[in-house]
Amino acid sequence: MSTSEIRVQDLHKSFGDNEVLKGIDLEIAQGEVVCVIGPSGSGKSTLLRCVNLLEEPTGGRVFVGGTEVTDPDVDIDAVRRRIGMVFQQFNLFPHLSVTGNLTLPQRRVLGRSKDDAARIAAENLARVGLAEKADAYPGSLSGGQQQRVAIARALAMGPDVMLFDEPTSALDPELVGDVLAVMRMLADEGMTMMVVTHEMSFAREVADRVVFMDGGVIVEEGAPAQVIGRPAHERTRHFLSRLLDPAMADVEEGSGEGSGEGESSH
């Protein structure tokens, strides 16, 4: 791991009177996998969305690959071409085949020829184990397959960084494993990844570093064995105990993500 691929400095974000991010500092090195965990409303999804300016920070600076994303004069479209984003929802076009979903953004955004786009689409469908679904339509696929198509679509753009916002949270439990297997493969290939997740086994096995957020701040960060196995802070211990034993959860757990957090229509 050498250069810093993502750098966040004193990042603040407010929605009205609700300050969701309260001065976040975070660096992710090239080839590093960082999992961000924390309770609903902690600011983790907002942090992720500020990295590619889907949310406009209230204050602070964000750099991706040395380019300041928060510079008012930045070519944000050029920066976003380097960042793959995978959401909770798959956001596939239902009227296009799987191949069509992968080739359209390549041709429109990157200007690739029809043949080049189709070749790269096929390569990336094979990477996620869905080569045989090239001509299928999203409605005929399971949720897990649709999410793997969404990952392949992001990979087809040739990103340097992949951002995942709770990529398995909308899936039935039995479909989660195939998506996580694809993400493990990307980690093994050296892809720089920032992953907001509740999948503790994935974070423990795949992450180089785990960041625990609560109340808009980073409470602690470190190796998975430390943060998940031997957390230093009571807030982290409390969160993990509730996550690993849902019977401990009380009514406040269902209060939602708060303004700007959680699922997105983007």
Token pair belonging to 121: 């689409």
**CA angle, corner 20, sides to 16 and 25, nearest 5?**
135
pLDDT tens for the chain, 266 residues: list them. Answer: 347 899 999 999 999 999 999 999 999 999 999 999 999 999 999 999 999 999 999 999 999 998 999 999 999 888 988 999 999 888 899 999 999 999 999 999 999 999 999 999 999 999 999 999 999 999 999 999 999 999 999 999 999 999 999 999 988 888 899 999 999 999 999 999 999 999 999 999 999 999 999 999 999 999 999 999 999 999 999 999 888 776 655 544 443 443 344 433 33
DSSP letters, 158-210, are --SEEEEESTTTTS-HHHHHHHHHHHHHHHHTT-EEEEE---HHHHHHH-SEE
- How far apart, in whole angstroms, are the C-alpha atoms of residue 123 and residue 117? 10
What span, in angstroms and rounded, lies between the C-alpha atoms of 37 and 29?
A: 18
C-alpha 261: how far from its chain's center?
14
